[in-house]
Amino acid sequence: MKISKIISVFLLTTVLLFVFGCEDFLDVNTDPTAPSNVPPNLQLSGLLGTFSYEIIGNDPARTTNRWVQQLSWTGFPPSSDNYDFDESGPNNFWDSTYTRVLNNAREMEQKAEENGNPAYSGISKIIQAWTFAILTDLWNEIPYSEAFDPANTTPDYDNQEFMYGEIMRLLISALENLAEQSPAPPGNDDLLYGGDMDKWKRLAYTLIARYELRLTNAPGHTAENQANAALDALQNGFTSNDDDADFQYFNNDGEENPWYQFAIDGKWDTRDQLSAHYINLLQDLNDPRLSIQARPVGAVDNNGLVAGFDPDMVEYTGNLNGEDGGGASNFSSIGTFYSAPDAPLTWFSYAEAKFIEAEAIYITQGAEAAQAVYEDAIRASMDKLDVDQGDVDTYITSLSLLSVAMDPLEEIITQKYIANFLSLENFNDWRRTGYPELEAAVDAVTPSDQIPVRYPYPSSELQNNADNVSQTGVPVGFESLVINVWWDSAN
């Protein structure tokens, strides 16, 4: 079956699941969208498409990249740009994550095990681990152990330390599955890697490295131990940009890239533009990625792409977070590499893997030892964007050596922040390391004008599982946004 046909089937399946699933998103353990007797190939394509659109390319990346100031909302405040993000904000994401991603992933895992097809089970476990990591990184305590019991409409919450153990367990179990022979392995229904199980294995190992490094400041953990664990995992992780987890989209109605749909296409909204902080950072560094990551001012207005826009325009300007930007036409939009209708959405890149390695080597061996890997990470990012090699060399030469930098970690994380443009990982790294250094948005609504460090529990949980939400100790209101998650508690 051709990829385009698989995509069309996935989109039809997703639409049907959405239509029938909208009736009841009140209980996280109730699955109104679970397909019955769906063939594994359609289960897999539907799961990957939903995960990409709902989890990687949706609210978490958009909201948190406003908070870490790669993006800025150019409409009228208040908005999540100045932290006006209450319990209604994450409702759809929370509910759809449990009902349309996790429940369907678990069903695919169960059917794969019943049918003796471990490849599908392994992929399902990777998606589950990744999704649970995103949930617990945003909320800390989440329903897990009791979340999928249909008889329990008020599931208990599991703490983040326990969740990280489960995330690692799922990834290790996935690797065991992927090492087995499958009688009917995925092919074109695998919309990410086309059935290449070796790439799925390398992705799982690289995810393990990401999550090991996440716990560098977690209570009961040491940075050196976590860094060594990350380095061990990376020995089997990504080896080049060819391993990148890039999910392809198409220039057809309903099949477009999420950033195009949510930031460029006038049918939705165009007010997610670039932040002044981010534009200024790239300009200060003379970073050749600026013209790739950003469109010139005026390329997009409130109605979408501007017909007849002069492609020779080279002005790049961002909006100051929290300010009324007066609409899209005054600022730079997301570059076409990331926001063209048919642009792939990067879930995880080799460049990020190299930055993980660079940081881990810095922790365990020092700045000088990390230098070569740090430069490799920058090159991987620029090679992916097809930056001229001369410009790459000039840029790297212009940067301070880690061994003489005032703070080598700041240099590593700043470059990772640029390479991970639009990724949720920017928020996780900022919470974990404090980099990049940020000033709070204008007219912040949080206590003491603090930048948020978590999501508030959604109103659906406050209405239907209030006792368990209360036991987390997280209050209702903007105060909830400034309570650290477990692994961030040392900062």
pLDDT at 8: 44
Q: What band does 490 get if pLDDT is binned at 50, 70 and 90?
A: low
Domain extent, residue 291, equals 268-343
- DSSP assignment of 155-188: PPEEPHHHHHHHHHHHHHHHHHHHTS--SS---T
Please, is 398 exposed, middle or buried when counting C-beta atoms within 10 Å of its C-beta (0-12, 13-18, 19+)?
Answer: exposed
Report yes or no on 292 lying in a domain. yes
Give the DSSP H or E segment for 305: strand 304-305
Shared domain for 153 and 132, answered yes or no, is: yes
Question: Closest by alpha carbon to 456, among 424, 482, 430?
Answer: 482
Which helix (H) or strand (E) element contains residue 425?
helix 425-433
Same domain, 213 and 326: no
Q: pLDDT tens digits, residue range 213-251?
A: 999 999 999 999 999 999 999 999 999 999 999 999 999
How many angstroms separate the Cα of 409 from the Cα of each of 159, 361, 416?
A: 29, 11, 10
| pTM (global) more than 0.85 | yes
Mean pLDDT value of segment 332-350:
98
User: Residue 143 is inside which H or E element, if any?
Assistant: strand 142-143
Domain check: are 388 and 273 in the same one? no
Domains: count for the chain = 3
Distance between CA atoms of residues 71 and 333, nearest Å: 9
Convert the pLDDT of each residue in 293-311 to its tens digit.
999 999 999 999 999 998 7
- Report d(CA 162, CA 146) in Å as an integer: 14
Whether residue 194 sits in one domain with residue 51: yes
pLDDT in tens, 460-483: 999 999 999 999 999 999 999 999
Rounded average pLDDT over 357-361: 99
25 pLDDT above the threshold of 80: no
Of 485, 471, 476, 473, the residue nearest 457 (C-alpha): 476
Together in a domain, 114 and 228: yes
The answer to whether residue 256 is domain-embedded is: no
The amino acid at 290 = L
**Chain length of the chain:** 491
- Residue 151 is part of a domain; what is its CATH number? 1.25.40.390
Pair (299, 400) in one structural domain? no
Residues 229 and 109 reside in one and the same domain:
yes
Instruction: With respect to residue 487, please indicate whether it lies within any of the assigned structural domains.
Output: no
Same domain, 294 and 404: no
Classify residue 55 as exposed, middle or buried by CB count within 10 Å of its CB (0-12, 13-18, 19+): buried
| Residue 481 exposed, middle or buried by CB count within 10 Å (0-12, 13-18, 19+) | buried
Which pLDDT score is estimated for 2?
37
Q: Domain for residue 325, yes or no?
A: yes
Question: Is residue 17 located within the same domain as residue 163?
Answer: yes
> What's the pLDDT tens digit per position in 38-92?
777 789 999 999 999 999 999 999 999 999 999 999 999 999 999 999 999 999 9
Predicted local distance difference test score (pLDDT) of residue 38: 74
115-155 pLDDT tens trace: 999 999 999 999 999 999 999 999 999 999 999 999 999 99
Does a structural domain hold residue 486?
no
pLDDT bracket for residue 31 (50, 70, 90): very low
Last residue of a domain, one of 400, 419, 438: 419
One domain, residues 146 and 15? yes
My answer on whether 18 and 155 are in the same domain is yes
**210 and 278 co-located in one domain:** no
In the chain, what are the helix, strand and coil shares in percent, each to the nearest 5?
55, 5, 40
Asked if residue 36 is part of any domain, the answer here is: yes
Instruction: Judge contact between 378 and 396, C-beta under 8 A.
Output: yes
The DSSP letter of residue 349 is -
* Integer Cα distance of 258 and 184 in angstroms: 31
Within a domain: 230? yes
Closest CA to 240 of 377, 420, 404: 377
Number of H helices, E strands in the chain: 20, 8
Q: Which two tokens stand for residue 381?
A: 């990012």
The residues pairing with 275 across neighbouring beta strands, listed in sequence order, are: 319
Burial class (CB in 10 A: 0-12, 13-18, 19+), 419: buried
155 is a domain residue: yes
Of the three residues 321, 343, 365, the one that is the final residue of a domain is 343
pLDDT at position 310? 85
78: preceding bond cis by omega (within 30 degrees): yes
